[in-house]
Structure 1
Amino acid sequence: MPRKAQELGPLSVSRLREPGLHFVGGVAGLALQVLPTGGRTWVLRVTIGSKRREMGLGGFPDVTLAKAREAARDARDQIRRGVDPIETARAARNALKTTRTAGITFRAAAEAYVAAHEASWKNPKHRAQWAATLEKYVYGVIGNLGVEEVALSHVMEILDPIWTTKTETASRLRGRLEMVLDWATARAYRSGPNPARWRGHLDKLLAKPSRVKKVVHHRALPIDELPEFMTKLRGVSGSGARALEFAILTAARSGEVRGALWSEIDLDRRLWTIGAERMKAGRVHRVPLSGSALSLLKATPKWAGIDLVFPGSSGQPLSDMTLSSVLRRMKIPAVPHGFRSTFRDWVSERTTYPQEAAEMALAHTVNNKVEAAYRRGDMMAKRYQLMEDWAAFFNGTQ
């Protein structure tokens, strides 16, 4: 047992300022630790079993000398009875922590996860999709269940009924369940393995999504029907028709065109530069403008105080259904995104341009790491000519 130090009084203890450990007497091993920062805290040196341990008793002056001596005597009494006071204190803290966190439901955890991450989501539709899928498939099963209680049986109850019939939705839903439960674990609201994880877990219980998913291709117009269609489209008035025409001319996505800004377009350089925040891949995309695309832009009116190239009637971006509505009214069995497929087929079947040029024109992400490492430029010279030839094809001049 440590030798008892000279017993100090409250005034003497309050004057201890030199960094280090100062034993204060009254109880063997009790000391005031003065930190280099000036902070002071109580420490009790004890031997538990055969190991020398240090036990924190709180900070000074919140814990007075008298209370520190009382806590030290209690700790030594526990050791004499064969109880480890350090482990007892740790268990009490963990129990208090569990009591504090046990009340959070899965719904509350999901809402907290969305609030923490939605600022990083580029597409505003993403939040709506999260809310809709969780409301439709999840909350009825585990919404009011404590997040620490969510188990494999609950995950299977959610996923199993839709895994083969709505595979893409189910696969996304599984990922969302996993992310919410991971967030809850990181915040100490639950512990243990994640019952929604795929690798080494659900992949043993559910078929691989790609094996059961029915591939639905975007309805596209056949290559040879494009010239006649473009002639008809140019006879249709309205911002929706012009936006669709511009999307076809540039092989761009509908959302990129509907959000196009005059400030992104350099008419002199015949270049449209789309910021990374508006691109699916999160990278800046440069689009070379053909003569036809340039003529369309020059004929498009600019509205005072509105930077959008194709604004709706309220001055806001066109809705995602506007371009589709143009095609429905024209009785064309295709969707706007399908024209990107037509462009890709045209490059492959009717031209000798390298496939990399088409992939860059479409702003596709390169999954092959080796290929991506070598693809450092964006082939702008070739792509200017590519887009001119694309316009010439459906203008009937090629």
Structure 2
Amino acid sequence: MTRALNKLSAARAKALRDPGRHSDGAGLYLRIRPSGAKSWIFNYSDNGRRRDLGLGGYSDVTLAQARDRASACRSAMAEGCRPSSALVSRRNVTFEEASRRYIAMRSSDWRSAKTHYKWDMFLERYGKPLMPLACKDIRREDVEAALRPHWIRINHSARYFRSMVESILDYAAVKGWREGDNPARWKGNLEHVLARKKPPTRHNTAVPFDKAPELYSSLLASSRSGPRCAAFVMLTAARNGEARLASRDQIDWDTKVWTIPGEMMKRGREHTVPLSTQAIDLLQAQPVYGWTNLFFPGLRQKPLSDATVRMAIRRVGFSEATAHGLRSTFRDWCGETGVSRELAELALSHAVGNETERAYRRMTALERRRGLMQQWADYLANETRSRSHRACINRFEFQDPTLSKNEMSYHNG
């Protein structure tokens, strides 16, 4: 039910004398103390508790101004910010406040929770020098000083952070918190003071598939979240971020299926992963934490970081390998053992065919993928498999009745 607005008039507010609160609607009140002093307050809920925020004395703030301030407070809360942030002088909004409000505004457009996490992490890691500065006061030298310590060593991350700062300061300009050119702009600005040459593209290094069982065994030797998460990535061929955010409510233990929500997927669509016996055993061996549903939590009640999984792989002797490269390891193994290209791509959650074909294949391919993922898990665990079992798997792949003759020729050729 919509709350009534503008219950008071300027004449009535002036005439009121009775001590207490006199509502104008939607959280705005004229408060009159026993002494007769009048002031405007905004009443709001903060985690279930009612709180008052002063908007100014009656003699200094008109009814119209009080309504504008209350409206600004409601807008700030809708953006996930403190209502008091709306009362900060438009000329003194800090970069920290602007970044918080920008993220709240944009987060509904982001397909993946990973994007929100990445913005928070980058701002915390690289943005500290800018956080206390008023947006109006940030100069090119300030942005350069924040970027330079990281520009050569971790250029890719520094470039991404620069684009974040540029977006936040563009937002600040639109909101009226700063004027003039954007000091984080690259073209014609930072390109003249920071190295322009982009670092060579680094591909995700895959572990040779004949070394994969050795890596898998080494990872399982640890009970820590990082190595265990890396082992789960290997067993499922999932993306690193999907595995790190795997939670108990995503697992159907009866059907042995892991359902990854669409907001966590690269293409924004729900993906189901059939779990091998080894994957189920690994998940069931993980401790239950009272503060999270995650299977592989990190420190300080936060999700495990990408770097932690990467370092877990390097610590067991695979110094050049990456977590994402493990998907390439799986793909190489599929190619070497004769698994159809379509089935391998489906297991990796890659797009195959048009939308209609993909919808049909999602309905028919789960059990086909289940056999594939169990065969892969057996290979990693060095489980012995009979010749007849391998032949059965191969017949299942190459003579699948859901594939047309053209598809059969394509996948087997």
Counterpart position of 1:215: 201
Listed as ranges, the gaps of 5+ residues in structure 2 are: 1-62, 64-88, 391-413
Counterpart position of 1:276: 262
Q: After alignment, is 314-323 or 104-113 more displaced?
A: 314-323
- The answer to whether the Cα contact below 8 Å between 1:302 and 1:309 also exists between their aligned partners in 2 is no
| Superposed displacement of residue 294, structure 1 | 3.9
Listed as ranges, the gaps of 5+ residues in structure 1 are: 1-61, 63-99
C-alpha distance in structure 2 between counterparts of 1:314 and 1:106, whole Å: 27
Counterpart position of 1:345: 332
Counterpart position of 1:87: none
Mapped pair 1:189 → 2:177: yes
Mapped pair 1:113 → 2:93: no
C-alpha distance in structure 2 between counterparts of 1:191 and 1:314, whole Å: 41
C-alpha distance in structure 2 between counterparts of 1:294 and 1:390, whole Å: 14
C-alpha distance in structure 2 between counterparts of 1:113 and 1:316, whole Å: 25
- The answer to whether the Cα contact below 8 Å between 1:118 and 1:127 also exists between their aligned partners in 2 is no
| Superposed displacement of residue 181, structure 1 | 1.9
C-alpha distance in structure 1 between counterparts of 2:302 and 2:120, whole Å: 19
- Do the aligned partners of residues 224 and 238 (structure 1) sit closer, same or farther apart at CA in structure 2, a change above 3 Å counting? same
C-alpha distance in structure 2 between counterparts of 1:314 and 1:206, whole Å: 37
- The answer to whether the Cα contact below 8 Å between 1:258 and 1:317 also exists between their aligned partners in 2 is no
- The answer to whether the Cα contact below 8 Å between 2:215 and 2:316 also exists between their aligned partners in 1 is no
- The answer to whether the Cα contact below 8 Å between 2:296 and 2:304 also exists between their aligned partners in 1 is no
- The answer to whether the Cα contact below 8 Å between 2:246 and 2:294 also exists between their aligned partners in 1 is yes
Mapped pair 1:179 → 2:167: yes
Q: Secondary structure at the match of 1:183?
A: helix
C-alpha distance in structure 1 between counterparts of 2:136 and 2:224, whole Å: 52
Amino acid at match of 1:134: G
| Superposed displacement of residue 238, structure 1 | 2.4
CA root-mean-square deviation: 4.8
Counterpart position of 1:129: 122
C-alpha distance in structure 2 between counterparts of 1:322 and 1:153, whole Å: 33
C-alpha distance in structure 2 between counterparts of 1:151 and 1:319, whole Å: 35
Cα deviations by residue, 1:119-178 (Å, 9 ceiling, x for unpaired): 878244531321332225x56xxx64x645667787677668866664313321231122
| Superposed displacement of residue 349, structure 1 | 4.3
Mapped pair 1:310 → 2:295: yes
- The answer to whether the Cα contact below 8 Å between 1:113 and 1:180 also exists between their aligned partners in 2 is yes
C-alpha distance in structure 2 between counterparts of 1:390 and 1:312, whole Å: 26
Bigger Rg over Cα: 1
Q: Secondary structure at the match of 1:286?
A: strand
Q: Secondary structure at the match of 1:212?
A: coil
Amino acid at match of 1:113: Y
- The answer to whether the Cα contact below 8 Å between 1:289 and 1:387 also exists between their aligned partners in 2 is yes
Q: After alignment, is 302-311 or 334-343 more displaced?
A: 302-311
- The answer to whether the Cα contact below 8 Å between 1:262 and 1:307 also exists between their aligned partners in 2 is no
- Do the aligned partners of residues 113 and 216 (structure 1) sit closer, same or farther apart at CA in structure 2, a change above 3 Å counting? same
C-alpha distance in structure 1 between counterparts of 2:235 and 2:328, whole Å: 13
With normalisation by structure 2, the TM-score equals 0.53
Of 193, 217, 223, 1:238 maps to: 223
Mapped pair 1:386 → 2:372: yes
Corresponding pairs, count? 290
Counterpart position of 1:266: 252
- The answer to whether the Cα contact below 8 Å between 1:272 and 1:289 also exists between their aligned partners in 2 is yes
| Superposed displacement of residue 330, structure 1 | 3.8
C-alpha distance in structure 2 between counterparts of 1:318 and 1:177, whole Å: 24
| Superposed displacement of residue 190, structure 1 | 3.8
- The answer to whether the Cα contact below 8 Å between 2:147 and 2:158 also exists between their aligned partners in 1 is yes
| Superposed displacement of residue 250, structure 1 | 0.5
Amino acid at match of 2:260: I
- The answer to whether the Cα contact below 8 Å between 1:219 and 1:338 also exists between their aligned partners in 2 is yes
- The answer to whether the Cα contact below 8 Å between 2:236 and 2:279 also exists between their aligned partners in 1 is yes
Q: Secondary structure at the match of 2:127?
A: helix
With normalisation by structure 1, the TM-score equals 0.55
- Counting aligned pairs with the same residue, the percent is 32
